[in-house]
Structure 1
Amino acid sequence: MVIDKSLEAMQQGIALQQSGQLAQAILSYQKALKLNAKNPLVLYFLGVALQETGKLEEAVNSYKKAVALNPDYVDAHYSLGNVFKARGELDSAVSSFQRVISIKPDFIKVHNSLGTVLQKQGKLKAAAASYQKTIALKADHFGAYYNLGNVRQEQGDLDAAVTSYKKAIAIKPKFAEAYTNLGAVLQFQNKLEEAIVSHKKAIELKPDFANAYYNLGTAQMDAGKYELAFFELQHAVTIEPNKSTYWNSLALCVEKITIDSYHQDLEQLFLRMLDQPIVLPKRVMGTITNMLFQHPNFISVLEFARTDDLENNLQEAITQLTQIPLFLKILELSPNQNLDGEMMLSGMRSAIINSWDERTDDPNRLLFCISLAHQCFINEYVYIETPQETFAVNKIIGEVERFLEEKRPIPPVLIAILGCYRPLYTFSWAKSLLEFSWPNKFLEVIKSQISEPLEEQAIRPTLPSMTTVENVTSMAVRDQYEDNPYPRWTKAGLGDEPKAVAQALKVYAIDLSNYKSPAQPRILIAGCGTGHQALQAASRYADSHILAVDLSLSSLSYALRKTKELQFNNIEYMQGDILELGSCGRDFDLIECRGVLHHLKEPLVGWQVLVDLLRKGGIMKIGLYSKIARRQVIAAREMISELGYDASRENIRQFRQELITMSRKPGSEVDSLVGSEDFFSLSDCRDLLFHVQEHQFTLPEIELILKDLGLQFLGFEINNNHTMSNFKELNQEKNSLVSLSRWHDFELQNPYTFGNMYEFWVKKI
């Protein structure tokens, strides 16, 4: 009979499927369906085979046909729900799983599966109920206890999370994932030694468990054991090199360690790290430079610089440095942050220009000059220039103009040397250089110093204005930032997993309690500068629309060029004054204003404008200078005023040189200034020491301001794990993290805790 042949084909398919021959099994099921198209069992098995081969759309169709023929077919409904889950169709998955429960309420695994989908949807209470139902049906279901622990952790009920993870481990003692998640909760509770033991147990059970190495590394960072953390985080990125969060934590760790000797394997690791989009080069520049200082080649060149003998040994110095690819790379990505390094680089620059007409065909000289041109452009020509160098610069300019007049090929090294002293786009003949054929590596200099700035100049007149800029202080601040795009950056350090607002802020231990993330958050970046903050927000918050406003057209042009380059389309840039934004006719779910309010003549007036733009229940990130942390800055600003320096480029360079000289004297009190990353570029130094308007605050003052503005303090955004751990150790009472008086006491004992600025989150009550 036909039915018998259909069953025979189905049984053959099952046998083939059990032996792993999925393609042949599918053919057998399809043959069975040709003989009897209305057999739900065949359709179910076909769906399973299609699902196993990754043909999810076809699997869905097969399962749907099966349940259409048999509406109470539990296995088909359950498998259909799993396919929907795999495809990210969460509402459909929930419907399928709930259908299973309506047919067979005691079907154990469906409750656990439903919980995982509800958890992904952010319905944590419902997810917990599903896991608890699973446990009620099967008391030793370790997976449900594990999942329940994950939910409790998300809900902030850390004690309950610990209990659930421990029950999962009791049932399944070799459950590595439960051990490392338990460790993560213990870590958040500041039980660091227990956390470290738990993570190590996970690694013991699963030696290739990248996430356990990552968690162990972050726990050791919290404990201030940065060298140990560095070792573990290396394991994590080696096992899973495509995980951006692992590289980001490795970079944070690298920032905190000192490497006393050169290691070739670390050079390769750092080269890979600097290629990661999430890693900010500025963060790791100091540690990498310190390691390179131990490189034999570096030691030789530094000795030439210290003995003022670079000109006599220039070719040897160039050869030595071009053999260190990591050094050339960091020069191209971020300003040098080391005074000895600055001495060497400025000395190399001087020696090269003083012999500019020698060996113009030397490939090593060109290679080094390319990297140095990038460095000088990035630091905005912050080095002192001697009259002899200025004379040589003018000679090179004349030589280049002769080449152009005579239509002769220009040696690229001449343009590279010139790019070490002047931004190339400022010359009237800059566009003509775009028509030449250049070596590939040199094209990067042409791009950064000519093509991109010219693109910004073209963007500038197209930028819309949101408000007028009429306030006298606002105009002075705007004029300061029109001189150079500020801050200039090469890499955005973007994450690759945008999340709902509440989930994105979990990493900072911000207490959002009953805050509900908006589905499509409207975000204002007030004072966006060159777009770095706006781009980070765009990559951090899922389904967001961002309005980014700034006074400076130079900065906004840079921001828009970078945004187009990175292919973000959810950021709107406009020129405007924060003081005038009240009339913009918009409101926002989230506002970020970092490092802006303290440059207003009346910071509280501007802050009130932002509060009025924030929706009720909305959240805001604020960055303000700390009066305690900026004591040396305040003293330096007073010195600048007494000496009569203005904010011209020459005066900034000259005052920097005075501070460098002072720093080398015994008992110097300017160490935090010359050690600041902001000291090593012209615009950063202007912003640090020469700003036309600056206010500083204390935490007691901020506490009173928040009360007046109707804002609830949610917590500081602190990237230093060890700082947070130290605070927790000293302040174990409930709600200490949101106590500004506790933080004030801590800052008094640790005055550089907020060296950059206070960065904190508040909620509109």
Structure 2
Amino acid sequence: MTQDYLKACKQLIGQGKYHEAITGLEFILHLNPNLSAAYSNLAICYSNLKNWNKAITSILNALGHGNNQYQDLEELLNILEKSELKSYVPLLEKPLKLAMELVKLEFRVIPLLWRQLISKHPKALSLASNSFTHAIDLLLQDEVFCKLIERSLITDYFTENLILISRQEILSRAVEGDDIHAYLPFLSSLACQTLLNDGLYSNTKQDRLYLNKILDNQNTTLEHFLLLICHSSFEESLMLWKKNQDLFKNDQFKSLTSDLQFYTDVSLSKNKGIINQKTSKLVQSFYMENPYPKWKSVKVSNQVKTNETDILFAGCGTGQQLIDFAITHKMSHITAIDLSPTSIAYAELMTKKYDISNVNFILLDILDIDTLGLRFDYIVCTGVLHHMACPSDGLAALNKVLTDNGRMFLGFYSRAARKSLKNIKKNIMTFLKTDEEGITRSGIKQWRSQLTTENKANAWYQVSDFFYLNGLYDLLIHPQQIEYSIPEIKALLNKCNLSFVSMSPTIKNREEFKLILAQNPTNKDKQTLDYWHKIELRYPEAFIYMYQFHVVKSPSSVLNNKRP
């Protein structure tokens, strides 16, 4: 009987009759107060009615009675994302931490836990400080804070400054002989962050003096070793671990040892393949030294497509974009090519993390794609062609292996959006008193450590690439890149017999962009490159990340292919 009632309530929910469904679900719970499915459906009803308090209470009841089922954890995230809850709710902490351990939910949980943490520690995370305070000390002892800096790249200067203050304080205490055992979880997590950001944080003169004292000590403790990693370059950290692996047999450092092993495996990649073109070799060398992007989790869509297609990722990099695509197209056959064996190794390890088996990785130049003897229904090539000596040659090569009814998703750098990057590079060279060839990783760290408040307010200084060294190198020091205007994109597509379909802008300031679009109302010309050129003239930062758009073969090209 209860199941019949529950089925009827679900039908009411499907019809949008939420109040009626709530009445029925409350009756069911009167009959069976422990039925988690009834609480789950109540949460859905209240969520649709925007009654967030009752929605959260109901989903917490569902989790409690249902032993934290995946679908209930997922619904909890849906509710919190919609509600934009900003107050601290202690009962949310446990299920959010559980959800964080599920790879397909991890990415979504991180901002929600940050939101909870800011409400829980307002003095530490809302009030700027230039010294180590009791509020910061309490924050460092919080398991959630440690988990967050362990799992995700820190991309704001406030938290970065807090971390640097804490790192300096703990190092000082260690050298003075104080017991810093209580900070082991924080140091372990900060070591994970240091690996993720490639040892981005610069050391002060005082830091270096303290570190030399630790190095001079013949009895290096676990605490000392963690401090060394937290102050080392990426390469130095891997060498330190190689020499001191016996220190890390405790499960407390499972995440750190896992990260160290991951990066070691990536650096030892033996993926074979021959790259012949001169510029391609140059780009290959760059990405072997600077795998890009660095990441640990990715947002995964629930919308799984069941059609079977042949897909090409031309320049898969470290697999961040690929992972979600492979999950949502699990019936498809995906070929992923890249120049860099290091990037491919990174991507392959991530497919194992996400239990993906429908991707075939090949070390290959786009120019040689026809050697595979394959044709593809869909090709993804974003942020790749503009690193080639002649992007039109690469695009033409991809067009040859695209089926007549296929689509390509492309991405190119915008010259207008990236205009100020030239000034940033000049600023670096002026600071370091060198030319472009003389820029080093340690030099970049020194330059970044003296950024002003005015610098940090600039849109470019806030993009995620500014918060790890590989990102900064890809953004500013790449040896081969070509920037475009939309008219030049239009000419490139015409040259390669391709037709523009639609733009997929990734906007940093969405509200400002919406205002620009409102001032340029939608009309029949919206999905043309000419329309988007007008938008970019009004708002040059519209494509601060890239032009990203879909294309198909031009009708004349398809017709010629069909002729005998």
Same topology, TM > 0.5: yes
CA displacement at 1:376 relative to structure 2: 1.4
**Superimposed CA distance per residue, residues 329-350 of structure 1 (whole angstroms, 9 cap, x where no aligned partner):** 2101112122122122112222
Contact 2:292 2:343 in 1 (8 A): yes
CA displacement at 1:387 relative to structure 2: 3.1
Matches within 5 A, 1:727-746: 735-746=524-535
Matches within 5 A, 1:200-215: 202-207=17-22, 208=41
2:420 to 632, 637, 640: 632
Letter in 1 for 2:250: P
Over 3 Å counting, the alpha-carbon distance change for 1:272 and 1:709 in structure 2 is farther
Distance 2:442 2:371 in 1: 40
Matched, 1:533 2:533: no
SS at match of 2:150: helix
Matches within 5 A, 1:296-375: 296=121, 298-299=123-124, 305-306=129-130, 309-310=131-132, 316=134, 319-357=137-175, 362-375=180-193
Distance 2:416 2:442 in 1: 30
Distance 1:703 1:572 in 2: 32
Match of 1:412 in 2: 222
CA displacement at 1:740 relative to structure 2: 2.6
SS at match of 1:468: coil
Match of 2:241 in 1: 430
SS at match of 2:103: coil
Distance 2:328 2:142 in 1: 35
Match of 1:446 in 2: 257
CA displacement at 1:390 relative to structure 2: 2.8
Contact 1:248 1:278 in 2 (8 A): no
Contact 2:410 2:550 in 1 (8 A): yes
1:464 to 272, 277, 281: 272
Match of 1:592 in 2: 380
Larger radius of gyration: 1
In angstroms, what is the RMSD of aligned CA positions?
4.0
Match of 1:542 in 2: 330
Match of 1:753 in 2: 542
How many pairs are equivalent?
516
Distance 2:57 2:526 in 1: 32
CA displacement at 1:599 relative to structure 2: 2.0
Letter in 2 for 1:476: L
Matches within 5 A, 1:134-533: 176-179=13-16, 202-207=17-22, 208=41, 242=71, 264=90, 271=97, 274-275=100-101, 277-279=103-105, 281=107, 292=117, 295-296=120-121, 298-299=123-124, 305-306=129-130, 309-310=131-132, 316=134, 319-357=137-175, 362-399=180-217, 402-403=218-219, 411-422=221-232, 423=234, 430-431=241-242, 433-436=244-247, 438-449=249-260, 451-458=261-268, 460-461=269-270, 463-465=271-273, 467-471=274-278, 473-495=279-301, 498-500=304-306, 519=308, 521-533=309-321
Match of 1:129 in 2: none
Contact 2:396 2:496 in 1 (8 A): yes
Distance 1:246 1:731 in 2: 37
Over 3 Å counting, the alpha-carbon distance change for 1:213 and 1:702 in structure 2 is farther
Match of 1:3 in 2: none
1:567 to 355, 375, 382: 355
**Superimposed CA distance per residue, residues 44-100 of structure 1 (whole angstroms, 9 cap, x where no aligned partner):** xxxxxxxx9xxxxxxxxxxxxxxxxxxxxxxxxxxxxxxxxxxxxxxxxxxxxxxxx
Match of 2:38 in 1: none
Matched, 1:654 2:435: no
Letter in 2 for 1:177: G
Contact 2:74 2:105 in 1 (8 A): no
Letter in 2 for 1:618: G
CA displacement at 1:477 relative to structure 2: 2.3
Distance 1:754 1:213 in 2: 38
CA displacement at 1:712 relative to structure 2: 2.9
CA displacement at 1:242 relative to structure 2: 1.8
Contact 1:244 1:495 in 2 (8 A): no
CA displacement at 1:234 relative to structure 2: 6.3
Over 3 Å counting, the alpha-carbon distance change for 1:205 and 1:710 in structure 2 is farther
Distance 2:141 2:414 in 1: 43
TM-score, normalization by structure 1: 0.59
Greater relative CO (CA pairs within 8 A, separation 6+):
2
Identity percentage of aligned residues: 25
TM-score, normalization by structure 2: 0.78
Contact 1:360 1:413 in 2 (8 A): no
SS at match of 1:626: coil
Over 3 Å counting, the alpha-carbon distance change for 1:651 and 1:726 in structure 2 is same
Match of 1:678 in 2: 465
CA displacement at 1:267 relative to structure 2: 5.8
CA displacement at 1:541 relative to structure 2: 0.9
Over 3 Å counting, the alpha-carbon distance change for 1:498 and 1:176 in structure 2 is closer
CA displacement at 1:357 relative to structure 2: 4.1
CA displacement at 1:276 relative to structure 2: 5.1
SS at match of 1:355: helix
Letter in 1 for 2:287: Y
Over 3 Å counting, the alpha-carbon distance change for 1:671 and 1:732 in structure 2 is closer
Distance 1:624 1:233 in 2: 43
**Superimposed CA distance per residue, residues 108-155 of structure 1 (whole angstroms, 9 cap, x where no aligned partner):** xxxxxxxxxxxxxxxxxxxxxxxxxxxxxxxxxxxxxxxxxxxxxxxx
Distance 1:482 1:745 in 2: 39
Distance 2:224 2:100 in 1: 29
Letter in 1 for 2:277: E
Contact 1:499 1:541 in 2 (8 A): yes
Match of 2:34 in 1: none
CA displacement at 1:581 relative to structure 2: 2.8
Query: Quick check: 232-241 or 576-585, which moved more?
Result: 232-241
CA displacement at 1:755 relative to structure 2: 2.6
Letter in 2 for 1:242: Q
**Superimposed CA distance per residue, residues 162-219 of structure 1 (whole angstroms, 9 cap, x where no aligned partner):** xxxxxxxxxxxx965245xxxxxxxxxxxxxxxxxxxxxx4444444666777788xx
Contact 1:717 1:759 in 2 (8 A): yes
Over 3 Å counting, the alpha-carbon distance change for 1:216 and 1:425 in structure 2 is farther
Distance 2:170 2:406 in 1: 56
Question: What residue ranges of structure 2 are gaps of 5+ in the alignment?
Answer: 5-10, 23-40, 63-68, 555-564
Match of 2:65 in 1: none
Match of 1:552 in 2: 340
SS at match of 2:459: helix
Distance 1:283 1:757 in 2: 27
Distance 1:204 1:596 in 2: 52
Distance 1:246 1:602 in 2: 48
Query: Quick check: 554-563 or 351-360, which moved more?
Result: 351-360
Distance 1:280 1:351 in 2: 31
Contact 1:616 1:764 in 2 (8 A): yes
